[in-house]
Chain A
Amino acid sequence: MNDLLVAEGVSKSFGDFTALNNFSLSIPQQSIFGLLGPNGAGKTTFIRIINQITMPDTGRVILDGEPLQPHHIEYIGYLPEERGLYKSMKVGEQVLYLAQLKGLSKQEAKKRLQYWFDRLEIGDWWNKKIQELSKGMAQKIQFIVTVLHRPKLLIFDEPFSGFDPVNANLIKDEILQLREDGATILFSTHRMESVEELCDSMALIHKSNKILDGKVSQLKQQFKTNEYQVAIKTNQEDYFLQEVKQKFDVLPPNFHSIHDDLRLNVKISEKHQSNELLSFLMNHGEVNHFVEVIPSVNDIFIKTIKDHA
């Protein structure tokens, strides 16, 4: 079995409102999977179905080869977007309680907590109450609670909200390490740059339907526009511009250069090779900058949503 989590034709509606419509998805083992979508698209509903908080109307979810069952909660770690802790409970007690609810024994939970508290350098918080901690500190505790029982599947819903850049980076490294250690991670977010950095695959949900999914690299390939950023030093600018506009599509530049060059974006048609453009440019002057424009996840997101509007 190559995929840790497979959803097959999952639908869920609340009254008249359809939250998920015939939704299918496969998440490969030991990968980071980004679940993207505008607000209200159905991401949280899908995540809640995996966590068996909500039951799907139709369809099924398969975890590690087995249809989802109540005991699977031990294999899942979930950090919800709406997260909090008991304010008046002590940190240590609270984490122990939550770990035990996930099926760990008290001793085992204590041992692992020691490790994590040392690792995130929060050992002296054990007897503090949550209300004495800052939001970022509480987020660290929640992160520990999510990963403590070493789940096969980790679900992070907006994991970086509330963290300062230093701690966000710390958590990002931890997430990457967890993947190295064998965990599969489902990652729901609005922050495109973190998807860019972390995710191997992604899916896009829009208005209850999946409208896109696949490996991030493949999607980028699929969405590339054959556009190149060009900076060139030439003596006959007017003549060059005339020539280049004749052969290719020229767009306004979207980059900066440290040279005092002529900057432009050039789009070549499907039948041309990039080399043709390059040799054409070299004939007209000194090429200082030549880069293919690779669509960012953000571009893909916006373009796809627009196409489906």
Chain B
Amino acid sequence: MRNLKLIIRREYLARVRNKTFVVMTFLSPIIMVGMIALIAYLSSLNNDEKRIVGIHDQANLFADEFTDDDEVTYLNFSELPLEQAIDSVDKKEYYGLLFIPENSDRTYLANHIEFFSKDAPSNSYISGIEQKIANKLTNRNLVENGVDLTKLADSKTKVALQIETFSGEQTSKMATYIKMFFGGAAGYLLMMFIIIYGNMVMRSVIEEKTNRIIEIIISSVKPMHLMLGKILGTSFAGITQFLIWIFLGGILLVGVSAFLGLEVQPPEVSQQAMEQASNGEIQKIITDIVSLPLLKLIICFLFYFIGGYFLYSSIYAAIGAAVDSETDTQQFMFPIIIPLMLGIYVGFFSVIENPHGIVSTIFSFIPLTSPVVMLMRIPFGVPLWEILLSMLTLVISIFLVTLIAAKIYRVGILMYGKKPTYKEMYKWLKY
């Protein structure tokens, strides 16, 4: 036990004092935030560009619709014949020309309004125009058919379906988004953690092998302890780094967005949140978050996080022990990356669509994918027996995998110059 503590301490310090580690710890949040800021800045630049569009509307049918706003200025070319109008718009390098034929038949108009431009115009702009024209024509039709537009507007109703589980738990679409967010973030975080710090464990094993210090150490401590110490020490270093990232990243993000006066919004989920919030539902979001089974979530998160990390990092350690240098590791990376990716994809495509479907359920039992997939499923409410079964299989496989990995590790660290193959490693199991 004393030795294990010593090893963990050394591994932790060795990781944390490593120059690359320090640089990455402080540089990564700056780079990340910098990139977000850059993207936000660039897209705002793009929006600032003001478009000038000519309009050729002799009958003055759409005068009310196409008026200047922040993004577009309209110039009237109705006086000129169409060809001349096109020519002059082209010469002056305006964005385009909107041509509305002189015809009051609305079915004709619907298909004969034209937009001329040099290059293909942006889709969003065209959709905007189409929307405006369609609204105008629809309203005209409605009025002609004796519909009172004000009454129509008054009678529009917004529906919010109250969703409730059989056991009486209140829920909502918003809550589903929140669950997706929590599950997705947890699964993604776990995958990142495994890849970054599993690799670090592997490199540290290889380092001891190439330094040839391994035999000195192994004559004082059990290989199993050394492996565990490495995994734990590295994970503590990882947690330290993650915390610094979150902390620094948070500060920087707030700082930069205040400085640039930008509203930094992560896509999709928070846009939904904005929409809902604008309906005065912030209260609801908070209650939704609070009503999640937080304790269960946290416990499960910790369990799968630790379990998943242990499972994978012992495989990483075994790989590190089996090879002589980092270049030899490529062939063994495949079986690690594939289940991780599979977990993430199943998570993002299958779980979000149907959290309790057959695919999601199966993958949340398979030990190599279960940490990621189950983490994503849990916010949607998974029956206790499923969680327990999945945890049990995970624990059993951690036990088996660690045992096998320790065996490969024990033999591998003292093997030099042997080309590692799966066959060779299988033989080591019997030594």
> A and B bound?
yes
A residues with a Cβ closer than 8 A to B are 14-15, 48, 51-53, 70, 73, 76, 78-80, 82-89, 97-98, 100-102, 142, 145
CA distance A100 to B7 in the complex (A): 10
Q: What separation, in Å, do the CA atoms of A89 and B16 have in the docked complex? A: 12
For residue B217, which residues in chain A have a CB less than 8 angstroms away from its CB? 98, 101
Q: Does B221 contact A (CB under 8 A)?
A: yes
A73 and B212 contacting across the interface, CB-CB below 8 Å: no
Q: Is the CB of B431 within 8 A of A14?
A: yes
From A89, A98, A100, give the contact of B216 (CB < 8 A): A98
Inter-chain contacts of A14 with B (CB < 8 A): 431
Contact A101 B221 (CB under 8 A): yes
Distance of A104 from chain B, by nearest CB (Å): 11
How far is A266 from B219 in the complex, measured between Cα atoms in Å? 51
Q: A78-B219, A80-B219 are in contact. Are A15 and B6 (CB under 8 A)?
A: no
Q: Which residues of B contact A88 (CB under 8 A)?
A: 14, 18
User: Which residues on A sit within 8 Å (CB–CB) of B216?
Assistant: 78-80, 83-85, 98, 142, 145
Partner of B431 from the list A15, A51, A80, A87 (CB cut-off 8 Å) is A15
Q: Which residues of B contact A145 (CB under 8 A)?
A: 216
CA distance A87 to B217 in the complex (A): 14
- Quick check: is B127 within 8 A (CB to CB) of the other chain? no
Please list the residues of chain B having a beta carbon within 8 angstroms of any beta carbon in chain A: 3, 6-7, 10, 14, 18, 207-208, 211-213, 215-222, 414, 416, 427, 430-431
Q: Is the CB of A98 within 8 A of B215?
A: no
Q: Do residues A84 and B212 form an inter-chain contact, with CB atoms below 8 A? A: yes
Contacting residue for A73 out of B14, B211, B215, B219, CB 8 A: B219
Q: Report the minimal beta-carbon distance from A164 to chain B, rounded to whole angstroms.
A: 20
Q: Is the CB of A85 within 8 A of B211?
A: yes
- Verify A83–B215 contact, CB threshold 8 A: yes
Residues from chain B with Cβ under 8 Å of A51 in the complex: 218-219
Contact of A53 among B18, B208, B211, B215 (CB under 8 A): B215
Q: Cβ of B14 and Cβ of A102 under 8 Å apart?
A: no
Query: What chain B residues lie within 8 Å of A84 (beta carbons)?
Result: 211-213, 216
Check if B416 sits within 8 Å of A82, measured CB to CB.
Answer: yes
Closest residue to B430 on the A side, CB-wise?
A15
* 8 new A-B contacts at CB < 8 Å, known A78-B219, A86-B14, A145-B216: A48-B414, A53-B219, A73-B220, A82-B416, A84-B211, A84-B216, A89-B14, A97-B10
Tell me the complex Cα distance, A15–B215, Å: 22
Q: What CA separation (Å) do A102 and B6 show in the bound complex?
A: 11
Q: Beyond A15-B427, A83-B212, is A98–B220 a contact (Cβ under 8 Å)? A: yes
Chain B residues positioned under 8 Å from A53 (CB to CB): 215, 218-219, 414
When chains A and B are docked, how far (Å) is the Cα of A87 from the Cα of B213? 10
Known: A84-B211, A86-B211. A76 touches B219 (CB 8 A): yes
* Assembly CA distance A89 to B208 (angstroms): 12
Chain B residue contacts of A87, Cβ below 8 A: 211
How far, in whole Å, are A87 and B212 apart by their CA atoms in the complex? 10
A48 neighbours in B (Cβ, 8 Å):
414
Q: Kindly identify which residue among A80, A83, A100 contacts B6, using a CB–CB cutoff of 8 Å.
A: A100
Residue of A nearest to B221 (CB): A101
* A79 and B212 alpha carbons, distance in the complex (Å): 12
Residues of A within 8 A of B3 (CB): 101
Contact A86 B213 (CB under 8 A): yes
> In whole angstroms, how far apart are the Cα atoms of A79 and B219 in the complex?
9
